[in-house]
């Protein structure tokens, strides 16, 4: 496993849509998934946050996401949201590609994601609240969409160092 460089906001590659992973590519993708996990753990060790990372963040334009929700590593190959709640909520989001920036976004409260693992076995993840937010954030990466593009309005950006000023908005309910 190797820690890879994370592409940062401003790099146009982050705005490119990723391709599906084919069955033939799966074996070779194991190394990419391992590197993503190593990169996630390294980021968390340095910043104290980080539960998900998408392949395009290390410059690999394939539909692959690695999560670590505290109950072990999950590899999501070709994940797609098959159901989402009408209910939404607003939350200050962050991203490994802009570690000092927070963005206030609207997310679905719950979502269901179908994906395969690295052995091509299909799974369903039913997520809610912060995990649903995380999943929507990571899947957006695969379509070249960053949280900054989801900002609710012009006051939806803050430096992480200013987060103590944000409590009033962190609990605002979505539309
Ligand atoms: Zn991100």
Q: Among 19, 24, 133, 138, which one carries the catalytic annotation?
A: 138
Provide mean pLDDT across the span 74-102.
Answer: 96
Among 82-96, 102-116, 120-134, 154-168, name the one with the lowest average pLDDT.
Answer: 154-168
Provide mean pLDDT across the span 145-174.
Answer: 80
> How many angstroms separate the alpha carbon of residue 53 from the centre of ligand 1?
6
Active site residue 133: no
What gap in Å lies between CA 62 and CA 14, rounded to an integer? 12
Query: Please, are residues 66 and 53 in contact by the beta-carbon 8 Å criterion?
Result: yes
Domain spans of the chain, in order of start:
12-170
Helix ranges restricted to H, the chain: 26-47, 129-142, 167-170
> How many angstroms separate the alpha carbon of residue 51 from the centre of ligand 1?
10
Burial bucket for residue 9 (CB in 10 Å: 0-12, 13-18, 19+): middle
Residues in a beta bridge with 113: 81, 125
> How many angstroms separate the alpha carbon of residue 152 from the centre of ligand 1?
17
> How many angstroms separate the alpha carbon of residue 126 from the centre of ligand 1?
20
Residue 174 pLDDT exceeds 60: no
User: Phi, psi at residue 110, to the nearest 5°?
Assistant: -135, 150
Encoded tokens for 153: 């309005």
pLDDT of residue 70: 82
Average pLDDT, the chain: 93
> Which position has the higher pLDDT, 111 or 162?
111
CATH number 3.40.50.170 given to 12-170: no
User: Phi, psi at residue 167, to the nearest 5°?
Assistant: -55, -35
Residue 135 pLDDT exceeds 90: yes
Please state whether the predicted TM-score (pTM) of the whole model is above 0.85: yes
Query: Please, are residues 150 and 103 in contact by the beta-carbon 8 Å criterion?
Result: yes
The separation between the first and the last C-alpha atoms of the chain, rounded to the nearest angstrom, is 42
DSSP state letter for 98? S
> How many angstroms separate the alpha carbon of residue 16 from the centre of ligand 1?
14
pLDDT of residue 170: 53
Query: Please, are residues 68 and 74 in contact by the beta-carbon 8 Å criterion?
Result: yes
> How does residue 165 score in pLDDT terms, banded at 50, 70 and 90?
confident
């Amino acid at each position: 496993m190797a820690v890879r460089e994370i592409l940062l906001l401003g790099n146009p590659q982050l705005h490119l849509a990723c391709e599906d992973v084919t069955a033939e590519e799966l074996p070779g993708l194991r190394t990419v998934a391992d590197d993503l996990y190593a990169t996630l753990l390294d980021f968390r060790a340095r910043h104290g946050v980080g539960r998900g990372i998408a392949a395009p963040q290390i410059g690999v334009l394939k539909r692959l996401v690695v999560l670590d929700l505290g109950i072990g590593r999950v590899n999501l190959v070709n994940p797609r949201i098959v159901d989402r709640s009408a209910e939404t909520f607003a939350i200050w989001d962050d991203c490994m590609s802009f570690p000092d920036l927070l963005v206030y976004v609207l997310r679905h409260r719950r979502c269901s994601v179908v994906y395969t693992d690295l052995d091509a076995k299909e799974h369903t993840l039913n997520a809610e609240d912060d995990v649903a937010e995380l999943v929507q954030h990571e899947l957006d990466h695969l379509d070249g969409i960053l949280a900054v593009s989801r900002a609710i309005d012009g006051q939806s950006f803050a430096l992480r160092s200013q987060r103590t000023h944000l409590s009033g908005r962190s609990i605002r309910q979505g539309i």
